[in-house]
Structure 1
Amino acid sequence: MADLDWLIARPVAHRGLHDQKSIIENTPSAFAAAIAARYGIECDLQISADGEAMVHHDDALGRLTEGSGRLDATTAAELKRVAFKATGDRMITLGELCDLVAGRTTLLIEMKSRFDGDRRLVSRVASVLSGYRGPAAVMSFDPAQIADLRAIAPGLPRGMAAEKQGWGAVAAAPKRAVTTFAQVLSARPQFIAYAVRDLPALLPAVARSVLRLPLLAWTVRSADDRHKAVRYADQMIFEGFRP
């Protein structure tokens, strides 16, 4: 098993260190603030129409940006010209994020998926990170993405993001939960990121205690969340305060 102590050494800022006012999530300003505060950085990736890995949570424009339309129907050049509301930031690519961070803190990268078999994002992430020398790990809610990442970039740390809805409630639907857990294990994740609201839970506890996989709790926003993260996980992915 890979040594991932660096992944859980510091709290991880969810989509960077932002306030949704002057600093917006998943922007260069949010990432610079996280670096300055010595936190790790969690971010999201979507695929553009021309196969570029874009740093953005939503699969469409409009919630935090000007404009509208799906990201996977818009080119990277067009997306980089889109303004975020109330800030001077613009959307960046994974490569530009790597240049900005330059190994100064941990990158925890979530690949977004439509669960439709499109593997372009996996390929692009593997290509970009092959030349990156800083600490970086990749995760997804889609076991197929993580299995593909393992196949094409076995040396890149990979993990599963999950929640009760996705992994199933063992007591209510044990067969479904076991099947889902088997799919997760087939992807050979090296860490787990699990919803703090669903902790404690059997399957992440097994992954942590039996399989010895580091467990990160997301998204920690309150004192109660923080208490559960400290008790049941190895590190937190946080938002809305400074731990």
Structure 2
Amino acid sequence: MRAPDWLIARPVAHRGLHDPARGIIENMPGAMHAAISGNFSIETDVQLTADGEAMVHHDDELGRLTEGSGPLLAKTSTELKRINFKDTPERMMSLGDLLALIDGRVGLVIEIKSHFDGDRKLVARVAEILKTYRGPVAWMSFDPDQVLAMREIARGIPRGITAQRTYDDGEWLALTQAQRDGMRHLRHAFRTRPHFVSYWVKELPAPAPWIARNLFGCALLTWTVRTPEQRAITARYADQMTFEGFVP
């Protein structure tokens, strides 16, 4: 299965079309409504909760955008829906809430957030929720094991790998050397069989995404495009961009 045409037909709004200066916060209902109004596809993140629900949130801990603190994995979906977001009346959505909001009007790209511990419950829960959804949707993850789980659990949903060239700094140092080596250069691709690659725009051009796109027919998206220069890189080396901070 090749990536669907809708995936590269329109720019993809990173965590919705958010604009903090106007009180529109990432991954919140307002950001999703703004993206729909602009006819942009939406990229969003989901995290697993203590009761096995998929909640729409990028960080695995509360505090950057919300009141409170602590990992989402230690709280239930009911608890999370009660937590206020800073400087906005909006609250966290479940994936089911988001699908009801979008209702098939634009494409949705779901990033499965992972703790790189082999736990596949989030993929299983998302697959269950998507069984009854009829809108255009795809999913992806940085974690090759999660992408492999997508292939094994729900082959019919277009899957992608979020990637960059190296994993030798920052939060990646928490992974084992073997995990980081396995992520480099899309080495896992013959196991995970992604339909698309979402690649860090700052590291293009690069051999691995070029091969994936030009030899194996994978659609190539970039993340996260914020400047005219990065938009030009996308136009030269990729099929579509995931953007924020401006309106294409």
Quote how far apart the aligned CAs of 1:19 are. 1.1
User: Structure 2 CA distance, aligned partners of 1:148 and 1:159?
Assistant: 12
User: Structure 1 CA distance, aligned partners of 2:184 and 2:229?
Assistant: 31
User: Structure 2 CA distance, aligned partners of 1:163 and 1:127?
Assistant: 29
User: Structure 1 CA distance, aligned partners of 2:183 and 2:40?
Assistant: 35
The equivalent of 1:171 in structure 2 is none
Quote how far apart the aligned CAs of 1:182 are. 2.8
What does 1:190-209 correspond to in 2, within 5 Å? 190-209=195-214
Identity of aligned residues (%): 56
What does 1:94-113 correspond to in 2, within 5 Å? 94-113=95-114
User: Structure 1 CA distance, aligned partners of 2:224 and 2:214?
Assistant: 21
The equivalent of 1:241 in structure 2 is 246
Structure 1 residues 129 and 238, CA gap change in structure 2 (3 angstroms): same
Quote how far apart the aligned CAs of 1:155 are. 0.4
The question of whether the paired residues in 1 share the 8 Å contact of 2:167 and 2:184 is answered with no
Name structure 1 gaps, 5 residues minimum. Answer: 168-175
Q: TM-score, normalised by structure 2?
A: 0.92
The equivalent of 1:35 in structure 2 is 36
What does 1:41-56 correspond to in 2, within 5 Å? 41-56=42-57
The equivalent of 1:213 in structure 2 is 218
User: Structure 1 CA distance, aligned partners of 2:163 and 2:183?
Assistant: 14
The equivalent of 1:142 in structure 2 is 143
Q: Secondary structure at the match of 2:58?
A: coil
The question of whether the paired residues in 1 share the 8 Å contact of 2:185 and 2:208 is answered with no
Quote how far apart the aligned CAs of 1:4 are. 1.3
Structure 1 residues 63 and 143, CA gap change in structure 2 (3 angstroms): same
Partner amino acid, structure 1, of 2:16: G
Q: Secondary structure at the match of 1:86?
A: coil
The equivalent of 1:15 in structure 2 is 15
Quote how far apart the aligned CAs of 1:150 are. 1.0
Quote how far apart the aligned CAs of 1:166 are. 4.0
The equivalent of 1:66 in structure 2 is 67
The equivalent of 2:177 in structure 1 is none
Partner amino acid, structure 2, of 1:96: D
Q: Secondary structure at the match of 2:20?
A: coil
Q: Secondary structure at the match of 1:165?
A: coil
Q: Secondary structure at the match of 1:67?
A: coil
The equivalent of 2:175 in structure 1 is none
User: Structure 1 CA distance, aligned partners of 2:183 and 2:38?
Assistant: 40
CA deviation vs aligned residue, 1:107-138 (integer Å, no higher than 9, x gap): 01000001001111000010001110000000
Q: Secondary structure at the match of 2:194?
A: coil
User: Structure 1 CA distance, aligned partners of 2:247 and 2:39?
Assistant: 11
The question of whether the paired residues in 1 share the 8 Å contact of 2:123 and 2:146 is answered with yes
CA deviation vs aligned residue, 1:124-177 (integer Å, no higher than 9, x gap): 01000111000000000011111111111110110000011249xxxxxxxx57
